[in-house]
A and B are shown apart, each in its own frame.
Chain A
């Protein structure tokens, strides 16, 4: 069965230090991969997506993610955390075409300390 695993439910960093949020997926087909962010009491917003083009994907707010097929990973990184980055982050995998099969990770809550 297809699956996506976010390895950390909670990550805490200090402002100005790097951010690493980990995501692994099961691999049966060529997936589309997404990272979404959810700020408190808000809907989800797309950070970036991978759809079989460049393996290093740049998103909004300085985030980027690298698709590594050999490791079935799509980790999200940012060189320097900002207080406004505190939110919950979801790794999402889509297999198949118009028939759907969208799978959300459990989410990683990012805390940023001053």
Chain B
């Protein structure tokens, strides 16, 4: 299996622009997680889907952030409009069934908002 796939790997954009991050989970996994990692705040869970349904989005920072999972093999995290403080590494992870199972992480998307 190719593992969790994220794209793009790097993104540089200007403040105010829309940013879309993409994730393809491991085939057969029914749980998907989006995380943000910064030096200041460490690793934070943003949102968690189970069977394509958002279960816990309490970590989503504000309305500028939105996440979708239209099917079992694809998810997006969108930031609109982006701000410099959104600069971080965004990780996607998937697991077979919920947060108590082993999560497999993608390589991350490094976002820089100028």
Contact = CB atoms under 8 A, between A and B. Distances in A.
Contacts, number: 54
A99 interface: yes
A20 to B, nearest CB: 21
Interface in A34-81: 34, 36, 42-46, 49, 51
B51 to A, nearest CB: 9
A7 B98 CA distance: 27
Contacts of B105: 36, 43-45
Given A99-B56, A106-B42, A107-B42, A32 B100 contact: yes
Interface in A85-103: 90, 94, 97-102
Contacts of A45: 105
Interface string B39-70: 00011110010100001100000000000000
Interface of A: 32, 34, 36, 42-46, 49, 51, 90, 94, 97-102, 104, 106-107
11 contacts: A32-B99, A32-B100, A36-B105, A42-B108, A43-B107, A45-B105, A51-B100, A94-B100, A99-B56, A100-B45, A100-B48
